[in-house]
Amino acid sequence: MHEPPHWRDRPQNERLLARECRTCGYVSFPEHRRICKRCQDEVEWDEVRLQERGTVRSYVVQNRLPDEFETPLPLAVLDMPQETDGEPARVYGLFTETEPDDIEIGMVADADLRQLFDINGLPVHSFKFKLPRGER
């Protein structure tokens, strides 16, 4: 697993910049693709901005992992709405600072892009989800 180079240079305030397919409305995030996953075609993309708060669509709690990971480790799939209209982006990441029993499908959570660990000195970033402030 290697970090895509665009993460390293990406300014913090652009971290929730996604791409929307002009043909079908599919939102690609965080990948920058030439081919739309849904259209399966080379398409034009518009840059769109995502909100930092999304809705939990699915999750799983990992209990058996290599020693370097703390368990239980919840992983979740969130839909992150755009700041304006259009489809949400579907994002996968770790759920942190939250008891696994408190996670429910349909609840809202905030997303942060964080450096999780490094591989051979290269930082690896991923999403961390947590309950909105005030609900923790």
The residues of the shown chain that bind Zn ion, judged by CB under 5 A, are: 21, 23-24, 26, 36, 38-39
CB closer to Zn ion, 10 vs 38? 38
Least distance between Zn ion and beta carbon 115 (Å):
31
Please say whether the beta carbons of 34 and 6 come within 8 A.
no
Q: Please report how close the Cβ of residue 42 comes to Zn ion at its closest, in angstroms.
A: 10
Q: Which amino acid is at 55?
A: T
> Which of 128, 117, 104, 123 is closest to 52 using CA atoms?
128
Smallest gap from Cβ 90 to Zn ion, in A, equals: 14
Cis peptide upstream of residue 11 (ω within 30 degrees of 0): no
C-beta of 86 vs 100, nearer to Zn ion: 86
Give the residue with the Cβ less far from Zn ion, 23 or 126.
23
Strand 53-62 relative to strand 73-80: parallel, antiparallel, unpaired?
A: antiparallel
Shortest separation between residue 108's beta carbon and Zn ion, angstroms = 27
